[in-house]
Homo-oligomer: A and B are copies of this chain.
Amino acid sequence: MTPRSPRPRDRGIPEATVARLPVYLRALQGMAERGILTVSSEDLATIAGVNSAKLRKDLSHLGSYGTRGVGYDVDYLVYQISRELGLTQDWTVAIAGVGNLGRALANYGGFGTRGFRIAALFDADRRVVGDEVAGLVVRHIDTLEDVVGSEGVSIGVIATPAASAQGVCDRFVEAGVTSVLNFAPVVLNVPPAVDVRKVDLSIELQILAFHEQRKADGQAPPEAGWIDATEKT
């Protein structure tokens, strides 16, 4: 097998790194818009809220795209990260559940930057079907299979009540969707070939509550940790 390119990108970029690449990407895109041409790992790390060594190691997984003594070319890095994340092609998304959350998602302009196209909105409630939301007509959930097939949807977003989530998920998967983003508070069951990511408000709050309790439990240093902590720029 002849290696097509000089990049060492083997098949294993650590999950932890993958999860941070979007953060770097967003920071870099902001810089690009402001006309910044070059950035050091130190500066980019500060903006992204991480350690600079970690940033460099993360980027090193994509290849050696920096110049020693100078830093990274902003535009080039934007391109490389985009490509690595698969954003140079468009992904087709469908959203199931057009309640408050579904609408919020549908209207979430541009879905990040670009790279994602919302192809359809589904709901089971006939009072909602036919409404126009974010420029799309809401379709009945029973047309899911047809639409997913014809539109080539690869990512399904579940914004339904918890009770319907697994059912909708099964239908997505059966129709050929291979990635699911789940906002319903349930653990979804899928075949191993399907990726699921979960966003769960109440879990996040509970984690915060845990730490909040810890702060209170420990002691109550009258006003400590406040003043000497502020200086962080």
Interface residues of A (CB under 8 A from B): 11, 18-19, 21-23, 25-27, 47-49, 84-87, 89, 91, 93, 99-101, 103-105, 107-108, 111-113, 115-116, 154-155, 178-179, 181, 185, 187, 189, 191-193, 195, 197, 199-215, 218, 224-227, 229-233
Contacts and interface: CB of A to CB of B under 8 A. Distances in A.
The count of identical subunits is 2
Contacts of A201: 105, 108, 111-112, 181, 199
A203 B23 contact: yes
Nearest to A209: B86
Contacts of A26: 185, 202
Given A26-B185, A91-B209, A104-B99, A232 B179 contact: no
A204 to B, nearest CB: 5
A135 to B, nearest CB: 14
Contacts of A112: 185, 201-203, 205-206
Contacts of A47: 187
A208 B11 CA distance: 16
Contacts of A181: 201, 204-205, 208
The 5 A-B residue pairs whose C-beta atoms are closest, nearest first, are A112-B202, A86-B213, A100-B104, A191-B229, A193-B225
